[in-house]
Chain A
């Protein structure tokens, strides 16, 4: 038995067998030449065999699939042995390239051609690159890239997961996630919370885990036990959430559900809202009892568009979300593109032009280089709002100054939108909350970015996970300062939190104590957060907020607050 730990980012405890996510296929050296011992004929034969084997595998997957997936897999199988792709790769082999180098370059040029056509062809370019990775994996004798396919449930272990991996991850087969990289706000952590999977990130020991090893994962403490003995299993199974039977975990909190009425034990009202990216998410959120939408990430509609969606298209997409919450509040955030969320049609800058994209042109700042996109989006929102029963609020991301907030408010007013606010993600916005709130109707604190900016720690860097915690007293100070700014402004304007921090039930208590007026989170977390908030009085929440603010570290703040909340242990959170 061996124990290591990382950051627990999504609650739950479970035992299961490891399957490793293969490392991404690495690029061959540019213009890689064939070894002298390998003839062109041999390299060509190797390439053909590998391409044939990928084609066969995809064909058999197509046979098992149905509907659209079947047609797409069948077409992708054809691409694996495509005569044009093979011809240009074989020509490169004749010119002296290695099989891998030839295929790499040939596929890159085809993908570039398809990408240049725009629209859905960009997805086809991704298909070509996927095929390339699969063929090269065979040439190198390494496992195919992507989430492993398995007939039995397993714990997925990886360096880190990309947003694209989420699409191929089957929540019925994956029991938990353990990564060596990533931080509490990494894509892996966000994905795990959305799927309700226990997860531990930034666990250096994860790189040593091999397929088939049994581990116990505790998504709260961040502990991973390798080859657990019976005592360790028993210790990990005291919680009602834990289970020995893989695949069947339930939580008492989730089983009880959220009743759609966020309150503390003494009746103090604290509405719990949901973060969503689509109408489908909104339906899930409504079913989970969300009292509204605290964050609609509108950029998710735009991700696969290579040209700007029309006002009509946007209106339809927004309206579908509004219709899921009649009579309730829905907060739409305007496009948050840039840094980790590049949008093809904005094509603002490449990495070379922006060496530090998190500090670059993103969010509201894109208006400087792509004027008009925001205005059209606000027009689309106003048109979706007309006749909708939901209460429509709009906010801008990445606001740094009261002047920017004022300009945004002016644009909203011009579009006929009544309730206009801004995100507090940049520390300067937290520090100037009072003048900002004198210009807008509300603010919503995005703790993920606020944390990375105030701690100067990249949220995707596993090595900095400890700094990158919303429990950091400095982050809590900024939240407290924002609430104080709202009080000083005097208009009783709402201060919400829509970052991942709101999904942590213990931190939710602290946020309530700091005076935050609403919490918005992934729908999965509503039940747990609701249950824990319902177990504390406002007085206790305020006391615990003081305890957290006075701590000297994030881990200290978290431990001291958690020790005072017995409900967490009871719910296995």
Chain B
């Protein structure tokens, strides 16, 4: 299991538009990725490809989330998603 922490850069937090962009990106990856708030139990992690799951985290700007995935491509996948969260998606 690979793990990667990311700090939400979007000024409005993971609201509709950034959450949708993120979930779309996660869905395109070859591995299944989960997302959870930092410190939440692993079994509570949610499907990162689900826009509803991502929204339901209610993550605000500055909050830290944990991305997890299994498999050979996991590290690359997580790095790309983390980079995604660490940009201000709403400003783009």
In the complex formed, the residue of A with least CB distance to B17 is A71
Near B by CB (< 8 A), chain A positions 46-100 give: 71-72, 74-75, 78-79, 82-85, 87
Whether the pair A75, B47 counts as a contact (CB closer than 8 A) is: no
Q: A128 at interface (Cβ–Cβ under 8 A)?
A: yes
Per-position binary interface string of chain A over residues 3-41, scored 1 when its CB falls under 8 Å from any chain B CB and 0 otherwise: 000000000000000000000000000000000000000
Whether the pair A84, B46 counts as a contact (CB closer than 8 A) is: yes
Per-position binary interface string of chain A over residues 188-201, scored 1 when its CB falls under 8 Å from any chain B CB and 0 otherwise: 00000000000000
Q: How far is the CA of A82 from the CA of B50 in the complex (A)?
A: 5
Q: Which residues of A contact B46 (CB under 8 A)?
A: 84
Whether the pair B20, A75 counts as a contact (CB closer than 8 A) is: yes
Q: Which residues of B contact A87 (CB under 8 A)?
A: 47
Q: Closest CB of chain A to B59's CB: distance in Å?
A: 10
Interface of B is mostly: helix
Per-position binary interface string of chain B over residues 6-31, scored 1 when its CB falls under 8 Å from any chain A CB and 0 otherwise: 00000000011101100110010000
Whether the pair A117, B23 counts as a contact (CB closer than 8 A) is: no
Whether the pair A85, B50 counts as a contact (CB closer than 8 A) is: yes
User: Chain A contact residues (Cβ within 8 angstroms of B): what range?
Assistant: 10 to 19
Q: Which residues of A contact B20 (CB under 8 A)?
A: 71, 74-75, 78
Q: Which residues of A contact B24 (CB under 8 A)?
A: 78
Whether the pair A84, B47 counts as a contact (CB closer than 8 A) is: yes
In the complex formed, the residue of A with least CB distance to B51 is A78
Q: Closest CB of chain A to B51's CB: distance in Å?
A: 5
Whether the pair A85, B58 counts as a contact (CB closer than 8 A) is: no
Q: Which residues of B contact A74 (CB under 8 A)?
A: 20
Q: Which residues of A contact B53 (CB under 8 A)?
A: 82-84
Q: A120 at interface (Cβ–Cβ under 8 A)?
A: yes
Q: A413 at interface (Cβ–Cβ under 8 A)?
A: no
Q: A232 at interface (Cβ–Cβ under 8 A)?
A: no
Per-position binary interface string of chain B over residues 38-65, scored 1 when its CB falls under 8 Å from any chain A CB and 0 otherwise: 0000000011011111011010000000
Q: Which residues of B contact A78 (CB under 8 A)?
A: 20, 23-24, 51
Q: How far is the CA of A113 from the CA of B52 in the complex (A)?
A: 10
Q: Which residues of B contact A72 (CB under 8 A)?
A: 16
Q: How far is the CA of A423 from the CA of B85 in the complex (A)?
A: 51
Whether the pair A121, B50 counts as a contact (CB closer than 8 A) is: no
Whether the pair A110, B16 counts as a contact (CB closer than 8 A) is: no
Q: Which residues of A contact B23 (CB under 8 A)?
A: 78
With A110-B56, A113-B56, A114-B55 given, is the CB distance from A124 to B49 under 8 Å?
Answer: no
Q: Closest CB of chain A to B62's CB: distance in Å?
A: 16
Of the residues B16, B56, B58, contact of A75 by C-beta under 8 Å: B16
Whether the pair A75, B17 counts as a contact (CB closer than 8 A) is: yes
Given pairs A79-B51, A83-B50, 15 additional interface contacts (CB within 8 A): A71-B16, A71-B17, A71-B20, A72-B16, A75-B51, A78-B24, A78-B51, A82-B51, A82-B53, A83-B47, A85-B50, A85-B52, A114-B52, A120-B15, A121-B55
What are 14 A-B contacts with C-beta separation under 8 Å?
Answer: A71-B20, A74-B20, A75-B19, A78-B23, A82-B51, A84-B47, A84-B53, A85-B50, A85-B52, A110-B56, A114-B52, A114-B55, A120-B16, A124-B16
